[in-house]
Amino acid sequence: MSIANNMKRLREMHGLSQKEFGKIAGVTDKAVSTWENGTKTPRMSAISKIAEHFGLQKSNLIEDGGLNPENISNPDEHLKGIDFALWGEVKDLTPSQKEDILKFIRFTKSKDNNEG
């Protein structure tokens, strides 16, 4: 899977439009379109923003097969496996609602760590 496919797959996995994905990367929807069709490749600054936003390694976005579940080392280990359960085929949650749920999970996890 090329970087173009990785970008499109990640965007679609999270139910984001090209415009929403571009906001995360700090670029326009047109730039996202050129990445996805393979005309251009994203700059490292955009890759870094995307990786940070989704809790991925930059290599997950760049390397072939980087978004295969076995290749993703998510710093939020407690979220591994939850992703598909929460978002798999769910189309009725907005990206903002999904992010709110993830923030709550992270908050709960950090609260547990601070109490222990």
Return per-residue pLDDT of the chain as tens, 116 residues. 589 988 998 888 888 899 999 999 999 999 999 999 999 999 999 999 998 888 888 888 898 877 776 566 544 444 444 555 555 555 566 777 777 777 777 777 676 656 55
Domain ranges (residues) in the chain: 1-75, 76-116
**pLDDT confidence of residue 107:** 76
Considering the segment(s) 1-75 as one domain, its CATH architecture is Orthogonal Bundle (1.10)
User: Distance of alpha carbon 47 from its chain centroid, rounded?
Assistant: 11
pTM above 0.75, yes or no: no
What are 45's two structure tokens? 């600054």
Are 49 and 24 a contacting pair, CB within 8 Å? yes
**pLDDT confidence of residue 92:** 62
- H runs (alpha helix) in 55-94: 58-62, 82-87
Nearest to 72 by CA among 56, 51, 96, 95: 56
**pLDDT confidence of residue 103:** 77
For the segment 53-70, what is each residue's pLDDT rounded down to a tens digit? 888 888 888 988 777 765
